[in-house]
Amino acid sequence: MKNSLLMRIDTPYTLNFLIYLQNIYLNQKQREEQFKFPYLTEMIRFYDDFEMKFKELWEDISIKLSEDDGNSIDLKIFNDEKNLFYEKLFIPNSDSLKTYNEIFTGFKVWWSSYAGSFSVERAIDNPSHNIYMELTNSLKINGREPKRQLNISLIYDKCLFSNTELYSYFAVLSMIDIYSNHKELVLKLQSCIS
């Protein structure tokens, strides 16, 4: 059996922006030694049920990304539906809209730069190659032939308010997942491939 696994790793704007917002929210509730990137000094007015609304938004976006092999839906949601994040997670008023727009722009500038998505992708080059090789070997040993490309959305930090569900030929992994136990991760990714 020849190696027929195609695996694509991308760094979606939408899910990484949600992680960015998650971390801002968490920083308002944690001690300094637990702070995550990014840290803002301003108190942001999020909805009281932020965690539940975050989970719903995360799951909706994950499903849409899982159904889009070309990743065009990610930029469409991020650019064309940018207020979706504001409407779901922020208490609306003129101050919070201004703050949200600053957060959105700050994320977009960072994520579009070499310090953002490019650096995240490069940081996992070697470990992702090792995972690919282990997954390919495991599929061969088990006589499993992938039917299509495995798409992985990479996020820069753990998602704490929703499970990073696995879908058919789609997974969301954090950098921490990539650097953790490869054997466990390979088993997890195998379950995406039917």
pLDDT digits (tens, 9 = 90+) for 46-86: 999 999 999 999 999 999 999 987 778 999 999 999 999 99
Q: Does one domain contain both 105 and 152?
A: no
Q: How far is CA 36 from the centre of its chain?
A: 16
Residue 1 in this model has a pLDDT that exceeds 60: no
pLDDT at position 2? 65
pLDDT at position 180? 87
Q: For all residues of the chain together, what is the average pLDDT? A: 93
Residue 101 lies in a domain: yes
- β-bridge mates for residue 172, sequence order: 153
pLDDT at position 78? 97
Residue among 44, 54, 50 at smallest CA distance from 17: 54
The set of residues, in sequence order, having a beta carbon less than 8 Å from that of 139 and lying 6+ positions away, is 5, 145, 146, 190, 193
Region 137-166: mean pLDDT is: 92
Q: What is the band of 151 on the pLDDT scale with cuts at 50, 70, 90?
A: very high
Region 15-37: mean pLDDT is: 97
pLDDT at position 33? 95
Q: Which of 69, 89, 112 is the last residue of a domain?
A: 112
How many domains, the chain? 2
CA separation (Å) from 36 to 5, 27, 28, 32, 102?
Answer: 35, 7, 10, 9, 18
Q: Does one domain contain both 100 and 122?
A: no
Q: Does one domain contain both 84 and 21?
A: yes
Structural domain harbouring 70: 13-112
Return the C-alpha torsion angle 96, 102, 108, 113, nearest 10: -150
State both tokens at 42: 């301003």
